[in-house]
Structure 1
Amino acid sequence: MSESLPPPPSLKRCVEKLGLPTESVNWDLLDQALVHASASGDRNNEQLEFFGDSVLRLAAAEFLMEHYPQATVGELTRVRSQLVSDQMLAEIAENIGIEQFLQTSSAAAGDRAARPRRLADAVEAILAVLYLSRGHLQLVRPWLDPHLATSAQQLMENPAMRNPKTALQELTQKHYRTLPDYRTEEISTQHGDPQRFRADVRLGDRWLGSGVGASRKDAEKAAASQGYRALLASITTETQH
């Protein structure tokens, strides 16, 4: 399938369904992006997914710096980590209906546990196609930004993003009547590398999360952010049963 030839009807329907720009898209790469490794060992989306991961991180970083110029680096880092997560990418894939166009083996299609990762990989592969079709983010940002906007706003308004240590403390006091405990240590680095710290946060004997940062404060904030999400998910699950 040559880039200069018109795309097959199935791929054209896919482009229309996903809301992708039809101009200057490399159709051959897009076709490859929709082939899971289980369907073809020779020509699949693994390398595109690898490249798309970097495209996603760059696009998300640009988006956050443009829309939240007053945010701290720590806040931007925590929000970006959520925006590029498998969970967020799988939600994008669900919203735009990628799965109906994704070629997979019958065995892979039946693996429900691997489904979120499979969908996330497909989104990253498509981002790679949009970037490689032009060699920059001109096609990527208009397609990706609307998917980032709502989630980024919700994350920025989340108290665990703005002040994760306070948010975690309030959560543990409310549900367990106790405070989290942080254990922080300096990480060994090679000569000349910047100083780094690692923090673990626990609730009694229960490990909640860990984080790394350039200072003890940053490391503890990163640990608190992970701990808050894990503990909130656990509490939500417990209350549903």
Structure 2
Amino acid sequence: MSLAYPRRQRQLESLIKKFGLSTDVGINWNLLDRALTHPTASDAENYEQLEFVGDAVVRLVAAMTLWEHFPQCSVGDFAAIRSVLVSDRVLSQLARSYGLELYLLVAGSAIADRAGQDSRLADAFEAVLGALYLSSNNLDLIRPWLEPRFCELASEIRRDPARLNYKAALQEWTQAEHKVLPEYKVVEIQHPQTNHERFFAEVWLHNQKLGEGKGRSIKAAEQAAAKVAFLALNHQGNH
């Protein structure tokens, strides 16, 4: 059944087409609309319950992808890779690749809260998966487009010694080598050139700056700085 608002219906159909799906495959449009409604836009009809379902769905799709395409991996590798695939950081990146922020209904102070945008997008992405799953009661509307993305990301993660979590990797290195944690210094850029560069971070160890980076959020800036530091240290260790 289509939505009562033709403009919103067209918006959601546009998103579905970005997933490579047909608009006449039995999608519950009311659920999809709800999946893209932040709690600030509606107290009752928002994405929170669908996010709960989608959290289980995305973990299942990730597990099935690893099982079918990377059978040589150990259970430990499965767990490590899946933890990255289902992280807010990766899910928000996937959400942006489909332009999900264009369809998410947000109101009030959340509109100006750019620092929380990654978390909102990750939550909405999970909610969309929940809506698609409940539309068919299976993964037929999800696996055709999400599994290839997870395959690509899993291959990248397996090639990456830091599993794409450079903060964790750098922390492990500094604890092993120096028994201390790195220190991050973050400032907000007053006039960022783009929204991707709102925060600037430096990572320090024993009064020595190891790296610096910029990001859309504090976490993203810290990850960028940690990546510079970790790759530099890894390069030094190989020589």
Gaps of 5+ in 1: 162-166, 182-202, 209-229
Q: TM-score, normalised by structure 1?
A: 0.67
Q: Give the 4+ runs in structure 1 shifted more than 4 A.
A: 3-7, 230-233, 237-240
Match of 1:10 in 2: 11
Partner of 1:197 in structure 2?
none
- Partner residue of 1:236 out of 224, 228, 236: 228
CA–CA distance in structure 2, aligned partners of residues 99 and 231 of structure 1:
22
Q: After the TM superposition, which residues 208-227 of structure 1 pair with which residues of structure 2 at under 5 Å, given as runs?
A: none
- Cα distance, 1:6–1:111 mapped onto 2, change above 3 Å: closer
Residue number in structure 1 paired with 2:128: 126
Q: CA–CA distance in 1 between the matches of 2:143 and 2:82?
A: 15
Deviations 1:146-193 (A, max 9, x none): 2212211011112345xxxxx879x94xxx7xx817xxxxxxxxxxxx
8 Å contact kept, 1:131–1:137: yes
Task: Indicate the residue corresponding to 1:63 in structure 2.
Answer: 65
Picking from 176, 189, 200, the partner of 1:180 is 176
Contact kept? 1:83, 1:151, Cα under 8 Å:
yes
SS of 2:114's equivalent? coil
Structure 2 gap ranges (5+): 164-168, 184-221, 233-239
1:1-241 aligned within 5 A: 2=1, 8-22=9-23, 23-160=25-162, 172=173, 180=176, 203-206=178-181, 233-234=225-226, 236=228
Amino acid paired to 1:234? A
Shift of 1:136: 1.3
Any conservation in 1 of the 2:170–2:229 contact (CA below 8 Å)? no
- Give the Cα separation in 2 of the matches to 1:180 and 1:238: 14
Distance, in Å, in 1 between the alignment partners of 2:130 and 2:162 is 31
Corresponding residue SS for 2:46: coil
State the one-letter code of the partner of 2:45. R
Q: Report the CA distance shift for 1:233/1:118 in structure 2 as closer, same or farther (over 3 A).
A: same
Distance 1:94 1:14 in 2: 12
Contact 2:15 2:98 in 1 (8 A): no
Task: Give the letter aligned to residue 19 of structure 1.
Answer: G
Q: Percent identity of the aligned residues?
A: 41
Higher Cα Rg, which structure = 1
Determine helix, strand or coil for the equivalent of 1:41: coil
Question: Corresponding residue for 1:221?
Answer: none
Name the amino acid aligned to 2:44. D
